[in-house]
Amino acid sequence: MRVLKYAILGLLDKGSLSGYDMTSHFKAELGQFWSAKHSQIYPELKKLTNEGFIEFKTVIQGSKLEKKMYSITDDGKRELHEWLTAYKPVPDTVKDEFMLKAYFISSMKPAEAEGLFADQLAKRKEKAAFLKERLETLKQEAGPGISFRSPHFGHYLVLTRALERENGYCSWLEKALELIKSGQAGS
């Protein structure tokens, strides 16, 4: 399944964007739960154009620079809606390289494991602080009470989930560090 297809259709359902604009969205808001590189986005834009789900207009920016502004078609809106309303099973797993390292912790020295976990905890706390700040900014931008019809509602849901995820990860890392330092698992 080409999930990137639906991410792009969803972005364009909110308004016309250039490929560069889409890349920026993947680095900012969408980056909390989905990633796509510049090299993936442009081939997908070509496929979506060929399938009739999006179209573009070439606009002149500055004196000579041409850029394509993409927009969703009615067929694209139907395709997006069909995907949005389809019930799917929970995926088997989400890849997490740090968890893979944790699984093989017995191959490390205790000091190495402690350093690895402490580093991960510091990075996760930093990420949680960033998410909390971003959530506060979103609340200010949206005004009092973000309702279902607000264009900010989906972003609010994603940010609150990402913040819960990072806070939960930090809590687990703190407990794991205690176990590493004590040298034994809890009973």
| pLDDT value of position 116 | 97
User: Is 167's pLDDT higher than 90?
Assistant: yes
Looking at the structure, tell me whether residues 115 and 158 fall in a common domain: yes
Q: Which of 84, 112, 146 is the last residue of a domain?
A: 84
Q: Which of 46, 56, 57, 45 is nearest to 7 (CA)?
A: 45
- 3 state DSSP class of 38: helix
- CA terminus-to-terminus distance, the chain: 43
| pLDDT value of position 58 | 93
Looking at the structure, tell me whether residues 54 and 105 fall in a common domain: no
Looking at the structure, tell me whether residues 54 and 111 fall in a common domain: no
Q: Which of 36, 61, 84 is the last residue of a domain?
A: 84
Q: Which H or E run includes 131?
A: helix 110-142
Question: What is the domain count for the chain?
Answer: 2
DSSP-derived secondary structure letter, 71: E
| pLDDT value of position 162 | 92
pLDDT band at 146 (very low <50, low <70, confident <90, very high): confident
| pLDDT value of position 120 | 98
User: Is 187's pLDDT higher than 60?
Assistant: no
Establish if 91 belongs to a structural domain: no
The domain containing residue 25 runs over which residues? 3-84
CATH of the domain at 17: 1.10.10.10
| pLDDT value of position 169 | 97
pLDDT band at 35 (very low <50, low <70, confident <90, very high): confident
| pLDDT value of position 145 | 80
Contact assessment for residue 18 and residue 69, using Cβ atoms and an 8 Å cutoff: yes
C-alpha of 63 from chain center:
35
Distance CA 54, CA 133 (A): 34
Structure tokens belonging to residue 145: 């009470």
Looking at the structure, tell me whether residues 74 and 103 fall in a common domain: no
More confident residue, 150 or 9: 9
Distance CA 170, CA 158 (A): 18
| pLDDT value of position 160 | 93
Establish if 177 belongs to a structural domain: yes
User: Is 186's pLDDT higher than 70?
Assistant: no
Looking at the structure, tell me whether residues 80 and 124 fall in a common domain: no
Looking at the structure, tell me whether residues 104 and 179 fall in a common domain: yes
Alpha helices per DSSP H over 15-37? 19-27
Establish if 114 belongs to a structural domain: yes
Please name the residue that has the structure tokens 């394509």: 68
Establish if 89 belongs to a structural domain: no
By percentage, how much of the chain surpasses pLDDT 70?
98
Looking at the structure, tell me whether residues 71 and 105 fall in a common domain: no
Mean pLDDT highest for which of 4-8, 23-27, 155-159?
4-8
Structure tokens belonging to residue 86: 């389809």
In whole angstroms, how far apart are CA 127 and each of 24, 74, 135, 141, 167?
18, 38, 12, 21, 9
Looking at the structure, tell me whether residues 179 and 105 fall in a common domain: yes
Establish if 103 belongs to a structural domain: yes
Distance CA 65, CA 74 (A): 29
Q: Which of 61, 84, 107 is the last residue of a domain?
A: 84
The mean pLDDT value of the chain amounts to 91
Establish if 92 belongs to a structural domain: no
| pLDDT value of position 12 | 96
Q: What is the pLDDT of residues 68-97, one digit of tens each?
A: 999 999 999 999 999 999 998 888 888 899
Looking at the structure, tell me whether residues 24 and 57 fall in a common domain: yes
